Amino acid sequence: MTRFALLPALALLVLTTACGDGTEGIAQSDPSTEPTPQSQSPSTAPTKSGLSATLEPCELLIPDADMARYGSFHEGRYREAAGARLCSWQRQDDATAKSGLVISVGVRDSQSVDTLTDVGGGINSGEVNGRSAAEAPDPRYGSCTLAVAVDDHSRVDIGITAMDDVNAACDVAREVAYLVEPRLPTA
């Protein structure tokens, strides 16, 4: 897979395939179910309201502590794009001086889990610690986005990019989701 710059990688927040039998994670949805397209345009600025308004994406994950087994990460970069407040961390890859694994956490204040976009790998619905969740793998780029509900109208997206395999990207997205979920507010 071709490594790509951080900004295009963030634009590709996507999800993954279902877990196998006996594996903790997202269950596969009925393939005949059509996903609902996102209603916001990429230029729409996020609107803070409801439970998600209290969330700061850069505070939901501490990669050097939470993800130490994947190496060291550069400091998180905050930005607003595509209707989300985002924070992304890129793994430091001293050996190759190439772009490394990128982990993104995006807060979508006015988009539910049901609005996650299928980017070519389908949408798999399930739960993360009892919260509604959906994941969308992007087999073309080997990336994955896993959306976890904050409430009925908002979600947090976990995006994993710059990996060689979509299944591995989704495995990391699930791991991050189980770390982030306990830090989300409850109604």
Q: If we measure between CA atoms, which residue out of 98, 94, 87, 104 comes closest to residue 71?
A: 94
In a domain, 169, yes or no: yes
In a domain, 34, yes or no: no
In a domain, 36, yes or no: no
In a domain, 1, yes or no: no
DSSP 53-105: GG--GGGS--HHHHTGGG--BPPPEEEEETTEEEEEEEB--TTT-S---EEEE
Band (182; pLDDT cuts 50, 70, 90) = very high
Residue 32 has pLDDT above 60, yes or no: no
Q: Print the domain residue range for 96.
A: 6-20+46-183
Report the CATH number that the domain containing residue 92 is assigned in CATH.
3.40.1000
Burial annotation 162-171 (CB, 10 A radius, 16+ → b, else e) = bbeebeebbb
pLDDT at 48: 55
Q: What is the pLDDT of residues 1-19, one digit of tens each?
A: 333 333 333 333 333 333 3
In a domain, 160, yes or no: yes
CB 19 within 8 A of CB 26: yes
Q: If we measure between CA atoms, which residue out of 132, 160, 157, 178 comes closest to residue 70?
A: 160
In a domain, 28, yes or no: no
User: How many domains would you assign to the chain?
Assistant: 1
In a domain, 41, yes or no: no
pLDDT at 52: 86
In a domain, 63, yes or no: yes
- The helix (H) or strand (E) run that includes residue 147 is strand 143-151
Query: What is the identity of the amino acid at 18?
Result: A
Average pLDDT over residues 81-103: 80
